[in-house]
Amino acid sequence: MTNTKDNKKIIIIFLLILLVLIAIIVFFIFKNKNEFSNNNFTNSVNEISSESLLKKTSFEDREISIKESLAKKFNVSFDQVSVFIGRESENHINGAFFIENFSDTESFSGYFFAVLEDTINVVWADKGTVDCSIITSYNFPTEMAPECF
């Protein structure tokens, strides 16, 4: 009989510990979510000036413009280029790109940084170390290239 009581106590203690662990995990998930949403860097279109090219163009149009610039820069066809926009601010975009069959057999991937002026101007695109002199000269936000600040 005492064995059954001991087993019940162990189960209850185990369930309480499990419940506390779940509560801690949920707390940290919501805490991190709030920290991200309160971050100074934002993708919120509502906080961006109506004069910004970011508001005047669609996400797809910005992707196409960047793909065209990269295809021209690397002398490949538009269809070979894939673009993945990582972050956008009022005047800047950064992300990654992939060029299929860059040298007939090999593919090429890297990062790009673009400035939004009258048009979208890719100011740096390559793989490897980012040229921080370019990034800082165009006043990119720290969050887009923390290694440069």
In a domain? residue 6? yes
Total domains in the chain come to 2
Sign of the Cα torsion 113, 114, 115, 116 reads negative
Which range among 23-27, 75-79, 92-96, 132-136 shows the weakest confidence by mean pLDDT? 23-27
In a domain? residue 44? no
What does the pLDDT look like over 76-129, one tens digit per residue? 999 999 999 999 998 999 999 999 988 777 888 999 999 998 899 999 999 889
What does the pLDDT look like over 33-68, one tens digit per residue? 544 444 444 444 445 665 678 888 999 999 999 999
Does residue 133 surpass a pLDDT of 80? yes
Tell which wins on pLDDT, 70 or 20.
70
Say how far apart CA 31 and CA 48 lie, in whole Å: 26
Q: What is the pLDDT of residue 41?
A: 43
What's the per-residue H, E or C state across 67-125?
Answer: HHHHHHHHCCCHHHEEEEEEEECCCEEEEEEEECCCCCCCCEEEEEEEEECCCEEEEEE
Does residue 71 surpass a pLDDT of 90? yes
Residues 66 and 33 in one domain: no
Say how far apart CA 3 and CA 1 lie, in whole Å: 5
Q: What is the pLDDT of residue 47?
A: 55
Among residues 78, 89, 74, 87, the alpha carbon closest in space to that of 125 is found at: 74
Task: Return the number of other C-beta atoms located less than 10 Å from residue 83's C-beta.
Answer: 21
Q: What is the pLDDT of residue 39?
A: 46
Strands 81-88 and 108-116, by their bridges, are unpaired
Residues 77 and 119 in one domain: yes
Residues 20 and 53 in one domain: no
Tell which wins on pLDDT, 18 or 61.
61
Which pTM value belongs to this model?
0.66
Average pLDDT over residues 17-46: 62
Give the structural domain span for 76: 49-148
Say how far apart CA 70 and CA 21 lie, in whole Å: 48
Residues 66 and 126 in one domain: yes
Residues 22 and 61 in one domain: no
Residues 35 and 53 in one domain: no
